[in-house]
Structure 1
């Protein structure tokens, strides 16, 4: 499979698609964008204006970045010269079945066909395709031009060659691809996120903590730890010189009891409304743009610190 990446097609220009567009263009690719939204040109320009400083902080060449982005007349026009297609459509298997049938038909035979699907495995929408060997999941975390992880998840008919090419592509655009060896709804990142979210909702429902203070618990403890070492290495270090074995053998039983006691939020309409109102009370005084800017500024600072630490190690 061709691993020369010159042209990328972005199908779907919502939050994720626009972030991909900026990232790909920042790495010198010609990016052809397709979306039926009537404000597509304005949305692309706004995204480039917002994201270009982030790309510059990553050391990318951003001069002339807008010239590398092309608005396509339709999907066929977007993918006609593509080496890579990144789909960002609705989280709906039937929609993706129809869309990927079009992509397989219209894109060049060498093009990788990647989906940003957050939860739907590729096998769920590729069964009827004549060629599913180059279709797989490339699931990012928002916003993908900043957050390094991309979950690379092959479907049942994806070729090993396509998996390797996808890893090469995401590394080419500065991401950290992780190949997941088995399809499972939600993949890895969102399953972990949802497990934590379920307990967070339960704790707020039970009146143990407010949404704002729960976020403080995370950002002042686990968030810092997991940004540097992750759950397993954190536990290995938590076991002291005895490592994970000591942790499992001496603290594992008490942890198991805690697992058995984890909550299941009711999320009845009444409880859901109370939770929504509590979150709005905590954060509703700021606009989405203000909150996103603060998030991105802090994430850039974390990434910069991690990068500096990695360079010191080397």
Structure 2
């Protein structure tokens, strides 16, 4: 039952059971992220209603969803998708009977404000709007909203159908509880921010890492390919199974984090003090562009994406096998 209108709805916000019944969800914005989300929702059995103001984006949407959907079927050993996908010419049609709206509009705050104002004239007050924004904090998005508590930031990592992280933030714990349960039912891994923050968690970490990667190139310490190879074959492997804090906890041996900080804290501080703050000037940008071109070795963006996705699928299959063993 809808909390505000009394209408019967699927995926009720007040439902605290562990199972998530099929819902009708909207995907607003039919670009790269929207297609990935739609595949994930559809594969989990939900009905997906999609809309984009661009006719071309709408017309080709089903074809763009088919690829990620096939990848999800590959991971799940051929399980057929259960949900339906439809695209709609009007926003009002796309929002009929939806419980969750996954918003993937461009990173333009005034545009998002206009979109939310339109949405709020169409849907009931308890329909959740989840923004895929990669950088903007919740506080930048809600001005002008009639029901700001319904909005959450739900930032995925690209592509969301293969990378499970979803970073959520909002002021209403009940809304966040429901959203976390929903994303978890998709096979995603939601994490909750305790405080509104630009860039959320993972993009802040990624930006900090890339800043030093750029500094290393700009200072001539190593070239682009060497930096990437060092990351992939070193800490990247460890980070795929351990977080940064836990890795240092193990780095302290029997003493754990306390032992690490007591014995190696000063050397860590020395490294922090030596980290750079590079500027993306013309020379640095040229080094980066030339460096990734050398590393790509003639492979197109499409080829590189295919290689990335193939590796992510293998990792997802391995994670699924490990989870099945623990079950």
Task: With the length of structure 1 as denominator, give the TM-score of the two structures.
Answer: 0.93
Shift of 1:31: 0.7
1:75 aligned to 2:88? no
Cα RMSD, aligned residues only: 1.9
Segment of structure 1 superposing worse, 301-310 or 232-241 = 301-310
Per-residue CA deviation, residues 227-264 of structure 1 (Å, 9 max, x unaligned), is 01111111111111111111011000110011010011
Residues 281-304 of structure 1 show CA distances to partners (whole Å, capped at 9, x for unaligned) of 221611111111111111122232
Match of 1:168 among 165, 170, 181: 181
Partner of 1:34: 51
Gaps of 5+ in 1: none
| 2:144 matches 1:131 | no
SS state of the match for residue 314, structure 2?
Answer: helix
- 1:29 to 1:61, Cα distance in 2 relative to 1, 3 A: farther
1:143 aligns with 2:159: yes
- Tell me what 2:311 maps to: 298
2:116 aligns with one of 100, 103, 119: 100
Q: Distance in 2 between matches of 1:6 and 1:242?
A: 48
Q: Quick one: distance in 2 between partners of 1:39 and 1:196?
A: 37
2:200 is paired with a residue whose SS is coil
User: When the two structures are aligned, how many residues end up with a matched partner?
Assistant: 310
- Residues 26, 61 of structure 1: 8 Å contact kept: no
Does structure 1 residue 257 correspond to structure 2 residue 273? no
Confirm or deny: 8 A CA contact 1:116 1:137 kept in the other structure. yes
Is 1:22–1:47's contact at 8 Å kept on the other side of the alignment? no
| Among 201, 204, 215, the residue aligned to 1:191 | 204
Give the conservation status (yes or no) of the 8 Å contact 2:155–2:167: yes
Structure 2 distance, partners of 1:17, 1:41, is 11
TM-score normalized by structure 2? 0.89
How far the C-alpha of 1:42 sits from its partner, in A, is 5.0
Measured in 1, the distance between the counterparts of 2:77 and 2:114 equals 36
The reply to whether residue 289 of structure 1 matches residue 306 of structure 2 is: no
